[in-house]
Amino acid sequence: MRNVEVAWIFRELADLMELKGADYFKIRAYRNAARILSGLDKPLVEIWKEGGLTKVPGIGRNIAAKVSEILTTGGLKKHEELLQEFPPGLLEIMSLPGIGPKKAALLREGLGVTGLGELARAAREKRVRTLPGMGSKTESEIIRNIEMRENRGDRVLLVSAGDLAEEFIEYIKRIPGVSGVEAGGSLRRRRETVGDIDLVAAGSDPQSVLDAVAGHPRVRKMLESSPGRARFYTNWGVVVDLEVAPEEIFGLALFRSTGSRAHYQRLQRIFTERGLKLDEAIKDGPGAAIQEQDIYASLGLPWIPPELREDRGEVEAALENRLPHLLETADIKGDLHLHTNWSDGINTIEQMVQRARAKGYQYVAVTDHSRSLKIAGGLSLERLREQHEQIRKMNDEFEDFRIFTGIEVDILPRGGLDCPDEILEETDLVVASVHSAFKQDRGTMTNRILSAVENKNVDIIGHLTGRLISKREGYDLDLDRVFEAAADCGTILEINASPDRLDLNDLNARRAREKGIKVAINTDAHDLKRLDEMRYGVSVARRAWLEPDDVVNTMPVGELIKYLRRR
DNA sequence: GCCGTTTTCGGCCCGACTGTTTTCAGTCG
């Protein structure tokens, strides 16, 4: 069992206890435990076997016993009992924005709704507004949010699909007769969410591979099968679609699986125009295995990276030999937005720095929250000064690494920043972000953010739109005006690499680049493990056609310091 | 629930915003 799966049980347990009206601090302890467990970079089973669970800060005797129960039995009795009491549909209701435990309980008691479908119907029939404390606005918000969720369908975050795919890939690789296996589909194109996980394997005996995968511990059932192909439903609720092709046509199968449909059709049109057929064109070298390169080469094109295959001009660019030299994760030389235990992070500055050094970075900026964000332990001016003092001392110890003093300063609801300018001025790196009053109207929100973009002490605007993928829409914002101002002022925009944010997204990052705006790709990590999420931000950048020069944290430390001063 | 050379009980505990009200409960970062 993965750490995140154990953490998930505690998160759900906390929600259930909240519905039950349990003690606030107990609930908080469970939530905190969930956060800590998912942040551990060592498998829980190992820590458990070593008897080290209670040594983890935030995990006491009780939670350790529960973890142990989960690891031995695969579940938690208390969790299962509560699920009997409160149907899972109620948890879904509670996960709607604006609906917490009290409103969820009221909806159940007052209207008897126990799931999203029933709730949507009740809202459309204007029954929700009959409940105390609920009116027409709540009603229409409910409908809007449920519809948004329905549109999302069964898509999961790229990170979840990637983790699950990785398990299957490792498993399939070891099946005798398999000479290769790769993810195709939207996972390979690195879209922010993935529907089915498409896998393509090369093997001489397809049926034996499919049979072996049917026995994978995560497979609940086989949905469909045909020669060389099967669809499996997994215990994560995600469908895995596996195709096993002979080695000679593995490249072709992978190419087809990768798509996108629009990209594929665009290429096919070119084949047709030239009087060729895709299948025939690649059968030139008999006996030789077909590579993806061969398919593109048969049209005189260079290989097109999967992230670009969306029919957004990549075929034309390839025809004119002007494909971008896409950014790679290895180009990244530092992380300019992360948190430590000075505010709401889990690890110390030392630990975060040590990990960043191990990753081969040249620098990081420590950007804890500013004073207004009380719940996240925002730093008072005094504490901020103290932290910066400590960082300056730490820097004396390094010759080959630089810690930038920093802050993630709140952009206040009325505009302006949550920290005096004179302090920002002497801070190496300032990220400014919105963390409150998300529902302001377009004009107010735009002006609010512009006040930060135009502040000469602000280096980077963090997670610009505030969206949480398939959970919360971004703020109502005039992006054109923000981009214009950022281009004018030389303000850097962030691609926040956190897999549930990916903000800017691919399209907006591409627009930013076209306006000449520089981008920083930051993890916003709150623990060691999440420093590794840089690659998701890089995926967005690649889908946005970004090259190393577009991204400030590809600069070596000296160049970056000069760049930041020049602003 | 967790934590503790201020140790085994008592502290942990924000505050603005929203939608609903006409003084406030619920939600959220």
Question: Which of the nucleotides lies closest to A434 (Cα–C1')?
Answer: B29
Residues A165 and A35 in one domain: no
Return the minimum-mean-pLDDT range out of A123-132, A209-218, A432-441, A456-465.
Answer: A432-441
User: Strand runs (DSSP E) across A114-228, as ranges?
Assistant: 156-157, 178-183, 193-194, 197-203, 219-226
Q: What is the CATH number of the domain that holds A55?
A: 1.10.150.110
Residue A265 in tokens = 């059709």
Domain residues for A118? 3-152
Nearest CA among A448, A434, A364 for reference residue A398: A364
| Per-residue pLDDT at A168 exceeds 70 | yes
CA distance A473 to A501: 10
- pLDDT tens profile A221-239: 999 999 999 999 999 999 9
Residue nearest to nucleotide B12 (CA to C1'): A25
According to the model, what pLDDT value does residue A284 have?
54
pLDDT tier for residue A280 given thresholds of 50, 70 and 90: low
Assigned token pair, A224? 């469909």
Among residues A319, A349, A371, the one where a domain terminates is A319
Q: Which residues make Cβ contacts (< 8 Å) with residue A237, sequence separation at least 6?
A: A154, A156
CA of A132, C1' of B23: distance in angstroms? 15
Does residue A383 share a domain with residue A249? no
Residue A385 CA, nucleotide B12 C1', distance (Å): 26
pLDDT at A308: 98
Nearest nucleotide to the CA of A414, by C1', is B16
The verdict on A161 and A71 lying in the same domain is: no
Nucleotides of B under 7 A from a protein CB: 1-4, 11-21, 25-29
Q: Which of these three, A258, A284, A319, is where a domain ends?
A: A319
Cβ-Cβ contacts under 8 Å for A510 (sequence gap 6 or more)? A543, A544, A545, A546
| pLDDT at residue A4 tops 70 | yes
Indicate the residue among A266, A294, A319 that finishes a domain: A319
Å between A133 CA and B21 C1'? 8
Answer yes or no: do A139 and A232 share one domain.
no
Whether A200 and A236 share a structural domain: yes
Whether residue A324 lies inside any domain: the answer is: no
The spacing between the Cα labelled CA in A146 and the C1' in B9, in angstroms, equals: 46
CA–CA distance, A50 with A67 (Å, rounded to integer): 14
Please indicate, yes or no, whether residues A64 and A103 belong to a single structural domain of this protein.
yes
The Å distance, CA of A480 to C1' of B18, is 28
Q: What is the pLDDT of residue A281?
A: 55
Determine the Cα–Cα distance for residues A1 and A355; give it in Å rounded to an integer: 25
For residue A491, with 0-12 CB atoms within 10 Å meaning exposed, 13-18 middle and 19 or more buried, which class applies? buried
**How is residue A555 annotated by DSSP?**
S
pTM score: 0.93
Residue A522's pLDDT band (cuts 50, 70, 90): very high
Q: A544: domain CATH number?
A: 3.20.20.140
Judgement on whether residues A538 and A424 belong to the same structural domain of the protein: yes
A460 alpha carbon, distance to own chain's centre: 20
Q: How many CB atoms lie within 10 A of CB A535?
A: 18
Residue A471, nucleotide of least CA–C1' distance: B28
C1'-nearest nucleotide to the CA of A27: B1
Q: How far apart are the first and last CA of chain A?
A: 49
pLDDT bucket at A275, cuts 50 / 70 / 90: confident
Q: Flag whether A433 is in a domain.
A: yes
Are both A229 and A343 inside the same structural domain? no
User: HSE-up of A509 (CA within 13 Å, CB side)?
Assistant: 27
Instruction: Name the DSSP letter for residue A369.
Output: B
pLDDT in tens, A327-382: 999 999 999 999 999 999 989 999 999 999 999 999 999 999 998 888 888 898 98
Number of domains in chain A: 3
DSSP helix/strand/coil, A248: helix
Give, in Å, how far the C1' of B14 lies from the CA of A355.
32
Residue-wise pLDDT tens digits, A14-72: 999 999 989 889 999 999 999 999 988 899 999 999 999 999 999 999 999 999 999 99
CA-to-C1' distance for A342 and B27, Å? 26
* Tens digit of each residue's pLDDT (9 = 90 or more) over A75-92: 999 999 999 999 999 999
Q: Tell me, yes or no, whether A339 and A435 share the same domain.
A: yes
Q: Which nucleotide is nearest to A437 (CA to C1')?
A: B17
Domain shared by A136 and A175, yes or no: no
Sort strands A219-226 and A363-366 into parallel, antiparallel or unpaired: unpaired
Question: What pLDDT score does A41 carry?
Answer: 85
Nucleotide nearest to A138 (CA to C1'): B19
- Is A63 found in the same domain as A102? yes
Which residue is nearest to the C1' sugar atom of B20, using CA? A133
By residue count, chain A amounts to: 567
State mean pLDDT over A435-461: 92
Kindly tell me if the per-residue pLDDT of A282 is higher than 80: no
